[in-house]
Amino acid sequence: MSTAPPAILGTHSRPVVLVCALALQAFAPRAAAAEPFTYGPISEPILSASFSADFAALTAHRFVGGTEVNRVVLLGLDGSTFDLSDALFGTTDALVGAAILDQGTLRTGIVTAPIAQSFFAGLSKGSVGLAATFTDTADGLFAIDFLALAIVTANRTIVSVMDRNDGFGIGLRDNDLLPNPLPVSIPIGATGTGFDESIGSKSIRVEPVPEPGTLTLAGTALLVLIRCRRRG
């Protein structure tokens, strides 16, 4: 997975059509089949971490008329959360300003935002969930190739990917231009998952998953508690 600047600056001074989720959610998948970022507990100190997403033809204002339509929040097993929405989308509203993330009609690219040290304890548990909404606020069409979490320690770099880095299903290399505008180049409904297909808006809500050993211990403790209550 290649790296890219944290934001793709826009070329449109105003959105062409303020479609957002409101008009196109009828055909956009509501919640694609997605798994949490899972990689096993980390015992060594974490030096840095980041969240990345590979988009095509996405113009993403944070708000439309005060309604939040683009957001990314990481969910930790320990109940902690980390909001990346400002870093990825700023605070712009489609009714009054330009989007800081604006790929136009043909550009693709990986956008990356750093994760603060305050969330490292959550990352170390081995599974991170995601609460996110992605919406195109210009012509109402975009595509997602993958979402990724990268964690760097002194000994290794851990990368957990949601879906696959497969060039939007049409074999593009990272940061290639689309051969044709959406949805000609990447059809609507191509996968039925919200990844590697043209969509207008996509919501994801996946909770982090404890490691199997933790679940076994919790189940054993519950059985012991039930037996003790029966005896009493």
The continuous run of DSSP H or E covering 149 comes out as: strand 143-153
Phi first, then psi: give them for residue 216, nearest 5 degrees: -65, -45
The continuous run of DSSP H or E covering 64 comes out as: strand 63-64
Percent of residues, the chain, with pLDDT higher than 70: 77
Q: Burial letters for 46-80: b for 16+ Cβ neighbours within 10 Å, e otherwise? A: beebbbbbbbbbbbbbbbbeeeebbbbebbbbeeb
Whether the predicted pLDDT of 215 surpasses 80: no
Whether the predicted pLDDT of 144 surpasses 90: yes
What's the pLDDT score for residue 232?
Answer: 54
What confidence tens digit (pLDDT) does each residue in 128-138 have?
999 999 999 99
What's the pLDDT score for residue 34?
Answer: 81
What confidence tens digit (pLDDT) does each residue in 154-171 have?
999 999 999 999 999 999
What's the pLDDT score for residue 211?
Answer: 76
Confidence of residue 1 (pLDDT cuts 50, 70, 90): very low
What's the pLDDT score for residue 212?
Answer: 60
What's the pLDDT score for residue 40?
Answer: 94
What confidence tens digit (pLDDT) does each residue in 9-66 have?
333 333 333 333 333 333 333 344 589 999 999 999 999 999 999 999 999 999 999 9
Mean pLDDT of the chain: 84
Residue at token pair 């100190």: 45
Give whole-number Cα distances, 12 to 68, 117, 122, 129, 179, in Å.
20, 35, 38, 33, 20
Confidence of residue 218 (pLDDT cuts 50, 70, 90): very low
